[in-house]
Amino acid sequence: MTGGMAVWDCPDFLDLPERDQKPRRVGLTHVLDKGITPPALEALLTQAGDFIDVLKIGWGIAYVDPAVKERVALCNAAGVLVSLGGTLLEVCAAQGRVDELRHWAAGIGVGAIEVSDGLQAMTLDQKTGLVRSLANDFTVFAETGAKDGHAPVVTEKWLAEMEADLAAGASWVIAEGRESGTVGLYHDDGSVRAELVDAIAARLPLDRVIFEAPRKAQQTWLIRRLGAGVNVGNVPLDEVLPLETLRLGLRADTAVTGQVTLR
Amino acid sequence: MTGGMAVWDCPDFLDLPERDQKPRRVGLTHVLDKGITPPALEALLTQAGDFIDVLKIGWGIAYVDPAVKERVALCNAAGVLVSLGGTLLEVCAAQGRVDELRHWAAGIGVGAIEVSDGLQAMTLDQKTGLVRSLANDFTVFAETGAKDGHAPVVTEKWLAEMEADLAAGASWVIAEGRESGTVGLYHDDGSVRAELVDAIAARLPLDRVIFEAPRKAQQTWLIRRLGAGVNVGNVPLDEVLPLETLRLGLRADTAVTGQVTLR
Amino acid sequence: MTGGMAVWDCPDFLDLPERDQKPRRVGLTHVLDKGITPPALEALLTQAGDFIDVLKIGWGIAYVDPAVKERVALCNAAGVLVSLGGTLLEVCAAQGRVDELRHWAAGIGVGAIEVSDGLQAMTLDQKTGLVRSLANDFTVFAETGAKDGHAPVVTEKWLAEMEADLAAGASWVIAEGRESGTVGLYHDDGSVRAELVDAIAARLPLDRVIFEAPRKAQQTWLIRRLGAGVNVGNVPLDEVLPLETLRLGLRADTAVTGQVTLR
């Protein structure tokens, strides 16, 4: 299961779902970084780097973090793709500074950029234009959904936007949930908009979609509905191993047991 | 109060409740580990190891954590007993792999195993059989309560199961609360099932019971009801010192003041 | 913006609100410490020390933390003022041990003490007496508000107490919110008592007031109402950089965009 790791302390006596090794296109774990310190990040990557596919430095954190260059380098060395948050790009777009962002991001080694319209200040054409342009130099994650919980969530509009983003060159589309798990895919109490998830799963290839799901109950719902290989986003940094156990049926929420057989 | 520590920076000018030193049977702090990194664990044990009696590696985290062996060794060196989570044992029981688990756990230095039936797939005889068998090689924590919040909580059934587990060789019984504090001992809003706690306290010796209480309000309730020496379980790793202050009356929730006397 | 830091990795291509450098009197970030380990504290101060003005060791944590002296030294070296929590002083006052506290605090290098009456066991005269006396040797933060969410919140009483505390020599007054953000300034659902904040802002100089605001929604509310330079208290340690982005309009909650201009 965890081929890249030292096998001597990885047990292998249970029958568990198969997990692809990195780099993979399904079963992605996309984590949300709010500015973890470099030593803590290094320790996490050493321990659990094989379980982390993408580290998104949330919103504009990268812009203010004096350690950002060091942190990006740690991720790159561990084979973890670093993405900037979409809000930073949106602010740059509003100020006419997208070129400056591209140049700076490339300079510090960032490999991916999220293109979003969480502030609802762009047309779809402007957004797909950004996707197309940035995809020349970066892996692009294109996000759909507003940051404001009061914004209407219209399924058909989401699907059309996701298809347009993929057509424009996005590697993955991301379905919005925020750090809180209370907007976009979720009602304000955190419960899942099941019909929206089902519509996305019916229309789009699941290896091109990442569902933001910061809460355990949301991750559990997705794994039960779409399988252990669902791509999960905005995972808190201290929930990487817990999510892995949810995928593998090693936590009560997803464990499947028949009659117990003792021997 | 904290005799094992360097006394030069431990103040001693307040009248506070007495606390037993480790190893102790009451006033236990049993923490829930979700995969903390080895450097962070080492730092925590150096700072607060005297306040941690048991570290439970939750559910199946131990099985997927590449650093588990290193982490167990750090705990053993600090005099902190490591327990595996009960769900891991339940999955092994369902797959007929209990012997493999025992062998592996002993090999990496784990000293304790939690025997639970959170998935509700065993008979009581099967569970006490596991307790009896595992108690030959490990300290056994036997847990009572379902992981599913919809499962009925029947006081008399809990008491009988706890008594059977102790008779079968469990060192302590654990009353379920999960990481969330919303099942077992608690209603789904986190409030305490007072009548259940009171019934446990009336029937069982309190030095053999650990009450899972992940939330401050729950810890506060238990300390006020059962005293500073209550055994508290599933404590988050960053709540070890805060719990110690609750026990000692150094936080508003449990502080007792008379009329203020200034001098 | 961040003059004290290495400029080579601090981008500077966006138009953002001005932020004063440390030491400053507005735009303070006052964090709540619950006993972070020394290595984690050192890493945080290295990364984000320029954004942290005051570190409060909450309630009685300092009294039980074996690493407190080491942690205070790390903060002092980084130019971060350390304050003891008010509950510790209240317990000392109730036991007639204020002199012992002063002596011990000075001995380990603590520079500030919070004077509060969260337990509601002092008269206002006793409280201002403590402020006056402690201000000879320490920076004094004087807090107003009860720890108990059932205590009545009377605006005029708060204002009079804050004015009395400033007159007695407090450097700043702190408006209570606790770690939870559910008392004092806030209703029990975490929503802001807007009329109380507005009354404080109308009567007192904002460079002398710190508003406890542990939650993002509360920080957002204050920044929108009172500006990026509002003094924010009880900030969780892992929310220092996120708060900085809120102040600067780099998170959706406070971002201001006009029409997007791409180039």
Q: What percent of chain B has pLDDT over 90?
A: 93
Say if CB B85 and CB B56 are below 8 A apart. Answer: yes
Contact residues on chain B for A10, CB-CB shorter than 8 A = 66
8 Å CB contact of A91 and C240: no
**Phi-psi category of residue A57: left, alpha or beta, with phi > 0 → left and psi -120 to 50 → alpha:** beta
Kindly identify which residue of chain A lies nearest to residue B92, measuring between CA atoms. A14
* Residue spans of alpha helices (H) in B49-182: 61-64, 68-77, 86-94, 98-107, 124-134, 155-167
Kindly identify which residue of chain B lies nearest to residue C129, measuring between CA atoms. B262
Contact residues on chain B for C189, CB-CB shorter than 8 A = none
Phi first, then psi, for residue B177 (nearest 5°) are: -145, -15
The ipTM estimated for the assembled molecules is: 0.95
Q: B81-91: per-residue pLDDT in tens? A: 999 999 999 99
8 Å CB contact of B262 and C129: yes
8 Å CB contact of C94 and B245: no
Residue C40 belongs to some domain of the structure:
yes
Kindly identify which residue of chain A lies nearest to residue C251, measuring between CA atoms. A59
Average pLDDT of every residue of chain C:
94
8 Å CB contact of B99 and A46: no
Contact residues on chain A for B34, CB-CB shorter than 8 A = 238-239, 241-242
Phi first, then psi, for residue C240 (nearest 5°) are: -70, -50
Say if CB C51 and CB B241 are below 8 A apart. Answer: no
Phi first, then psi, for residue A82 (nearest 5°) are: -100, 130
Residue B15 belongs to some domain of the structure:
no
Tell me which chains share at least 3 CB pairs under 8 Å with chain B.
Answer: A, C
- H, E, C per residue of chain C: CCCCCCHHHCCCCCCCCCCCCCCCCCCCEEEEECCCCHHHHHHHHHHHHHHCCEEEECCCHHHHCCCHHHHHHHHHHCCCEEEECHHHHHHHHHCCCHHHHHHHHHHCCCCEEEECCCCCCCCHHHHHHHHHHHCCCCEEEEEECCCCCCCCCCHHHHHHHHHHHHHCCCCEEEECCCCCCCCCCECCCCCECHHHHHHHHHHCCHHHEEEECCCHHHHHHHHHHHCCCCCEEEEEHHHHHHHHHHHHCCCCCCCCCCCCCCC
- Give the pLDDT mean for B98-107: 97
Secondary element (H or E) of residue B119: none
pLDDT value of residue C2: 39
8 Å CB contact of C61 and B9: no
Contact residues on chain B for A39, CB-CB shorter than 8 A = 39
Distance from CA of C188 to the nearest CA of A (A): 17
Q: How confident is the model at residue B2 (pLDDT cuts 50, 70, 90)?
A: very low
Q: For residue B44, what are the contacts with CB-CB under 8 A and spacing of at least 6?
A: B36, B52, B237, B240, C37
Contact residues on chain C for B261, CB-CB shorter than 8 A = 93-96
CA B41 – CA B74 distance, rounded (Å): 8
Residue C263 belongs to some domain of the structure:
no
Kindly identify which residue of chain A lies nearest to residue C217, measuring between CA atoms. A180
Q: Is residue B7 scored above 70 in pLDDT?
A: no
Q: How many CB atoms lie within 10 A of CB A161?
A: 20
Q: What percent of chain C has pLDDT over 90?
A: 93
8 Å CB contact of A69 and C251: no
CA B61 – CA B91 distance, rounded (Å): 13
CA C156 – CA C134 distance, rounded (Å): 25
Q: How many CA atoms lie within 13 A of B163 on its CB side?
A: 12
Burial profile C204-215: b = 16 or more Cβ within 10 angstroms, e = fewer: bebebbbbbbbb
Phi first, then psi, for residue C145 (nearest 5°) are: 125, 150
CA A226 – CA A218 distance, rounded (Å): 12
Identify the residue whose tokens are 């569970």.
B127
CA C112 – CA A15 distance, rounded (Å): 57
Say if CB A88 and CB A59 are below 8 A apart. Answer: yes
Say if CB C117 and CB C125 are below 8 A apart. Answer: no
- Give the pLDDT mean for B204-226: 98
State both tokens at C98. 């204020």
Burial profile C135-149: b = 16 or more Cβ within 10 angstroms, e = fewer: beebbbbbbbbbbee
Say if CB B243 and CB B219 are below 8 A apart. Answer: yes
Average pLDDT of every residue of chain A:
94
Size of interface B-C (CB pairs under 8 A): 120
* Helix/strand/coil for B161: helix
Q: A203-248: per-residue pLDDT in tens? A: 999 999 999 999 999 999 999 999 999 999 999 999 999 999 999 9
Whether the upstream peptide bond of residue C38 has omega within 30° of 0, thus cis, is no
Report which DSSP code applies to B22: S
8 Å CB contact of A39 and C43: yes
Q: How confident is the model at residue B256 (pLDDT cuts 50, 70, 90)?
A: confident
Q: C172-217: per-residue pLDDT in tens? A: 999 999 999 999 999 999 999 999 999 999 999 999 999 999 999 9
Give the largest Cα separation in chain B, rounded: 68
Select from A5, A238, A263 the Cβ nearest to the Cβ of B66: A5
Whether the upstream peptide bond of residue A23 has omega within 30° of 0, thus cis, is yes
Distance from CA of C52 to the nearest CA of A (A): 13
Among candidates A19, A1, A18, which has minimal Cα distance to A10? Answer: A1
Phi first, then psi, for residue B114 (nearest 5°) are: -95, 130
- Give the pLDDT mean for A149-166: 96
Size of interface A-C (CB pairs under 8 A): 120
Mutate which: C21, C31, C47, vs A, most A CBs within 10 A: C47
Residue C91 belongs to some domain of the structure:
yes
Contact residues on chain A for C9, CB-CB shorter than 8 A = 66, 68-69, 108
Q: How many CB atoms lie within 10 A of CB B224?
A: 13
CATH code of the domain in which A163 resides: 3.20.20.70
Distance from CA of C262 to the nearest CA of B (A): 43
8 Å CB contact of C35 and B241: yes
State both tokens at C72. 């205070």
8 Å CB contact of B93 and A10: no
CA B79 – CA B54 distance, rounded (Å): 9
8 Å CB contact of B245 and C129: no
Say if CB B116 and CB B89 are below 8 A apart. Answer: yes
pLDDT value of residue C10: 80
Distance of CA C243 to the CA centre of its chain: 13
Say if CB C68 and CB B49 are below 8 A apart. Answer: no
CA C30 – CA C211 distance, rounded (Å): 9
Q: A31-72: per-residue pLDDT in tens? A: 999 999 999 999 999 999 999 999 999 999 999 999 999 999
Give residue A26's domain range: 21-248
**Which residue(s) pair with C210 in the sheet?**
C174
Distance from CA of B249 to the nearest CA of C (A): 9
8 Å CB contact of B13 and C104: yes
Q: Is residue C69 scored above 70 in pLDDT?
A: yes
Tell me which chains share at least 3 CB pairs under 8 Å with chain C.
Answer: A, B
Residue C256 belongs to some domain of the structure:
no
- What's the total number of domains in chain A? 1
Q: B106-145: per-residue pLDDT in tens? A: 999 999 999 999 999 999 999 999 999 999 999 999 999 9
Residue A4 belongs to some domain of the structure:
no
pLDDT value of residue A8: 41
Select from B37, B87, B97 the Cβ nearest to the Cβ of A252: B87
Q: How confident is the model at residue C53 (pLDDT cuts 50, 70, 90)?
A: very high
Residue C48 belongs to some domain of the structure:
yes
Q: How confident is the model at residue C82 (pLDDT cuts 50, 70, 90)?
A: very high
Residue C14 belongs to some domain of the structure:
no
pLDDT value of residue A256: 84
8 Å CB contact of B147 and A252: yes
Q: What percent of chain A has pLDDT over 90?
A: 93
Contact residues on chain A for C46, CB-CB shorter than 8 A = 37, 67
Kindly identify which residue of chain B lies nearest to residue A7, measuring between CA atoms. B66
Q: How confident is the model at residue C261 (pLDDT cuts 50, 70, 90)?
A: low
Rg of chain B over all Cα atoms, to the nearest angstrom: 18
pLDDT value of residue B10: 80
Secondary element (H or E) of residue B209: strand B209-212
Q: For residue A124, what are the contacts with CB-CB under 8 A and spacing of at least 6?
A: A161, A164
pLDDT value of residue A5: 41
CA C66 – CA B7 distance, rounded (Å): 9
**Phi-psi category of residue C218: left, alpha or beta, with phi > 0 → left and psi -120 to 50 → alpha:** alpha
Identify the residue whose tokens are 């500073």.
B228
Among candidates B92, B97, B36, which has minimal Cα distance to B68? Answer: B36
Among candidates B122, B92, B202, which has minimal Cα distance to B155? Answer: B202
Say if CB B83 and CB B114 are below 8 A apart. Answer: yes
First to last CA, chain A: 25
Q: C124-180: per-residue pLDDT in tens? A: 999 999 999 999 999 999 999 999 999 999 999 999 999 999 999 999 999 999 999
Report which DSSP code applies to B20: P
DSSP secondary structure string for all residues of chain A: --TTS-GGG----S-----PPSS-SSS-EEEEES---HHHHHHHHHHHGGG--EEEE-TTHHHH-TTHHHHHHHHHHTT-EEEE-HHHHHHHHHTT-HHHHHHHHHHTT--EEEE--TT--S-HHHHHHHHHHHTTTSEEEEEES-SSTTS---HHHHHHHHHHHHHTT-SEEEE--TTTT-STTB-TTS-B-HHHHHHHHHHS-GGGEEEE--SHHHHHHHHHHH-TT--EEEEEGGGHHHHHHHHHT-STTT----S----
Q: How confident is the model at residue B260 (pLDDT cuts 50, 70, 90)?
A: low
Say if CB A104 and CB C8 are below 8 A apart. Answer: no
Residues belonging to chain A with any Cβ–Cβ distance to chain C shorter than 8 Å: 34-40, 58-61, 63-69, 87-88, 90-101, 104, 108, 118-119, 121-122, 126, 129-130, 147-148
Q: How many CB atoms lie within 10 A of CB A126?
A: 16
